[in-house]
Structure 1
Amino acid sequence: MRNCNHPARAERGRLAEQEAEQYLTRQGLTLRERNYRCKLGEIDLIMADRDTLVFVEVRLRTHHAFASAAESVDYRKQQKLLRAARHYLLRTGLTDKVNGRFDVVAINPRSDNGESIIWLKDAFGAT
């Protein structure tokens, strides 16, 4: 069972989200909101890429033994993100006013003990 309340794990997650935000900012995106939470789910980062609102899921993997960070965004997680994004759009009155997409920023360990960042634009859609 996943224990998100573990302090070290929570801190690693927070740092990964910071790293992803900085990376995307260097790519020209601007932050709209961090850790948007509602009863339907959570969105790590909401950013603007010109006229597109980008809902970003940040995934960190600390071991190669498990699925890659990008592969860990399964159908169930995608559905939670879609519901949370709809909630955000309704709450902010942006439902019919912006284009949107779902990106995944995957942070994976490298063999040299560093990390690699993989940015998957438009990783999945609202199908």
Structure 2
Amino acid sequence: MAEHNDKGKMAEELAAEWLIGKGYELMDKNYRFKHAEIDLIMKFRGILIFVEVKFRSGTGFGFAEEFVDFTKKKLLVKAADAYVHEKDWHKDIRFDIVAVYKDKSGNINFRQFEDAFY
């Protein structure tokens, strides 16, 4: 597996642990529907939350959250629709982005963008 894939999976694990620490419940990881994949599906206060995780080891090329483009959002919404139908979910949903940053000292920091798009 390529190094960037390893870092992405590590970031997803860290983000899931961080969200669980905030009281979120992990429902699913790496849910696939056709060409789309949802990194994390969480539940918090009765809301089903579809989370896109982005990792960066710096901001020289831009902030992590800026890399969720129109096409990616469209794919995430399609996959979320499939998941909602599959699970027969009838309550609210939300799309979040969790940015995972690793600084030069190796410290990990998180930024969560709730209700980032729809």
Alignment TM-score > 0.5, same fold: yes
Mapped pair 1:119 → 2:116 = no
Contact kept? 1:64, 1:109, Cα under 8 Å = no
Distance 2:47 2:60 in 1: 35
Query: Which residue does the alignment assign to 2:92?
Result: 99
Query: Which residue does the alignment assign to 2:83?
Result: 88
Query: What TM-score results when the alignment is normalised by the length of structure 1?
Result: 0.86
Structure 1 residue 124, shift from structure 2 partner: 0.9
Contact kept? 2:58, 2:103, Cα under 8 Å = no
Q: What does the per-residue CA deviation read over 1:13-43, in whole Å, with 9 as the maximum and x for residues that have no partner?
A: 1110010000000111000001000104100
Query: Which residue does the alignment assign to 1:109?
Result: 102
Q: What does the per-residue CA deviation read over 1:92-127, in whole Å, with 9 as the maximum and x for residues that have no partner?
A: 222xx11000011001233544232101111112xx
Moved more, 110-119 or 83-92: 110-119
2:25 to 26, 30, 40: 30
What residue ranges of structure 2 are gaps of 5+ in the alignment? none
Distance 1:23 1:61 in 2: 16
Instruction: Name the amino acid aligned to 1:83.
Output: K
Distance 2:51 2:37 in 1: 10
Query: What TM-score results when the alignment is normalised by the length of structure 2?
Result: 0.92
Percentage identity across aligned positions? 36
- Compute the RMSD of aligned alpha carbons: 1.4
Contact kept? 2:57, 2:103, Cα under 8 Å = no
**Mapping for residues 52-67 of structure 1, pairs under 5 Å:** 52-67=47-62
**Counterpart secondary structure, 1:34:** strand
Aligned residues: 118
What residue ranges of structure 1 are gaps of 5+ in the alignment? none
